[in-house]
A and B are shown apart, each in its own frame.
Chain A
C-alpha cells in the first residue's frame, strides 16, 4: 500500500472520464430516453384516440345499418302494396275485358240466332208455300196470297 504519483494520473483520468460522461454520454442518453418517453406517450394517446374513433365509427355504422334496414323494410312494404295494386288493377281489367268479350260474343250469338231464325222463317215460308201449292194443286198467285203467307210467316 504505497501512495505515489500514480495517484495524480488516476485523478486526471477520472476527471477526464467524468467530463466525457458529463459532456457526451449523459446528455445523449437522457435525450434518447426522453424522446422515447414522449414517443410512447404520444403513441398511447393516439391509440386511445383511435379507440374512441373506432367506437364512433362502430356507432355510426350501426346507425347506418339500422337506417338501411328500416328503409329496406319500408321499401318492401311499398313494393308489396304496389304489387297488390297492380294485381288488383290487372284483375279488374281482366274482368272488364272478359265482360267485353262475353258481351260481344253474346251479341254475335244473338245476331246469328236472329239470322238463323230469319233464314229458317224464309225457308219455312217457302216450304209452306210449296206445300200449299201442292195441296191446292194449283198455282197460287203469289201476290194474291201474299197477305196470308206473310201472316203465316209472322206466326212462325
Chain B
C-alpha cells in the first residue's frame, strides 16, 4: 500500500524517468528541521520528511560522492600500485599500459602548454583519469544499481529514494567542482603572469566577464550534458522495451532492447573517452592561454 502511495500521482513512464534521475540524497529537511534521507515521491510523511526537490542547498548526493571517491581510489590506486611495483628495466604489460596513459597525457601537456608549471601535468592527469573513471560507469546497465537504493528503507519499510545513480558525471555538482578548480588555476596563472592589473584589464569590456565565467561553466556543462544525455538514451531504451515487455508479456521483446542498448553503448564508448579527453585538453588550453604573453 505504501509503495502505491509513493508513486500515485505520476504516470509509470514519468515516474521511471524521474526515478532514474534522482540521486540518493541526505540533507537538511526544512519542514521537519532534521537531517535525513530524502524520499522520492512521498505523501504519507508530508509533514515530517522531504522530497529531494524540497531539500535546500545543504544536502548531499551520497551516490555521487561515494561513486566518485570510490572510482578515484580504484583508478589512482591502480597507478599507485603499478608504480610501487615498477621496474626500471623492461616493463610488464600492466606497467606498460600505465606508462602509456601517463605518456599520452604528459605528451598532450607538452604539446599544448608552453609555459612552466609543475601543477598543470598533475591537474590534467587527475582530471582526465578521474572523469574517464566516472564516464565508464555509464556502461553499467541502468537498472543494475537500483538494488542499493531500493533496499535502503526506513523503519516503516518505505524506501527512501529507491535509486542509486551510479554515474557521477550525470550529477552537475561533480563537473562543476572540476571546472571551479580549473577556473581557480586559470585565474591564478593569469594573475601570476600578468599581475592583478593585467587580470583586471581583461574586464574593461564587461562582456568579457560573462565570457570568463561562461567559459568555465560551459566546461562543466559540456561534460555533464553529454553524459547525462547518454544516460537518458539508455533510460529511454529501458522504458521503451520495458513497456512492451509489460503490455505484451512477450519475453521476446527483451532481444531488440538488448541490441539497441548494445549499439548505443558501443557508440557511447566514443563519447565517454572523448569527453574526458576534451575536458583535459581544454584545461590545458585555458591555462596555456592564461600563461601566454599578450
Q: Among the listed A4, A10, A26, A33, which residue makes an inter-chain contact with B27, where contact means beta carbons less than 8 Å apart?
A: A4
Interface of A is mostly: helix
B69 to chain A, nearest CB (A): 5
Shortest B47–chain A CB gap in Å is: 23
Contact B176 A3 (CB under 8 A): yes
Please determine whether A17 and B83 come into contact, CB atoms closer than 8 angstroms: no
Q: Could you count the A-B residue pairs with CB atoms below 8 Å apart for me: how many are there?
A: 114
Q: In whole angstroms, what is the CA distance A10 to B89 when docked?
A: 38
Is B86 touching A26 in the complex (CB atoms < 8 A)? no
Q: State which of A4, A20, A25, A33 has its C-beta within 8 Å of the C-beta of B55.
A: A4
Minimum CB distance partner of B83 in chain A: A28
Task: Check if B65 sits within 8 Å of A9, measured CB to CB.
Answer: yes
Are B58 and A5 within 8 A (Cβ)?
yes
| Cβ-based interface call for A135 (8 A) | no
Q: Which residues of A contact B55 (CB under 8 A)?
A: 4
Most buried by B among A3, A29, A36: A29
Residue of B whose beta carbon sits closest to that of A35? B88
The residue that A33 contacts in the complex, of B53, B99, B174, with Cβ under 8 A, is B99
The answer to whether B119 and A10 have CB atoms under 8 Å apart is no
| Cβ A28 vs Cβ B57 within 8 A | no
Q: Identify which of A4, A14, A22, A28 gathers the most chain B CB atoms within 10 Å of its CB.
A: A4
Q: Is the interface of B mostly helix, strand, loop or mixed?
A: helix
Number of A residues contacting the other chain (C-beta, 8 Å)?
30
Docked complex Cα distance between A6 and B64 (Å)? 8
Contacts of A2 in B (CB 8 A): 52-53, 172
Whole-angstrom distance between the alpha carbons of A26 and B101 in the complex? 12
Q: Is the CB of B126 within 8 A of A5?
A: no
Q: Is the pair B88, A10 in contact by a Cβ cutoff of 8 Å?
A: no
Q: List 10 A-B contacts (CB under 8 A).
A: A1-B172, A4-B57, A5-B57, A6-B174, A7-B173, A20-B76, A25-B76, A26-B122, A26-B125, A33-B102
B interface residues, Cβ below 8 angstroms from A: 23, 27, 52-53, 55-61, 64-65, 68-69, 72, 76, 79-80, 83, 86, 88-89, 98-99, 102-103, 106, 118-119, 121-123, 125-127, 130, 168, 171-174, 176-178, 180-181, 224
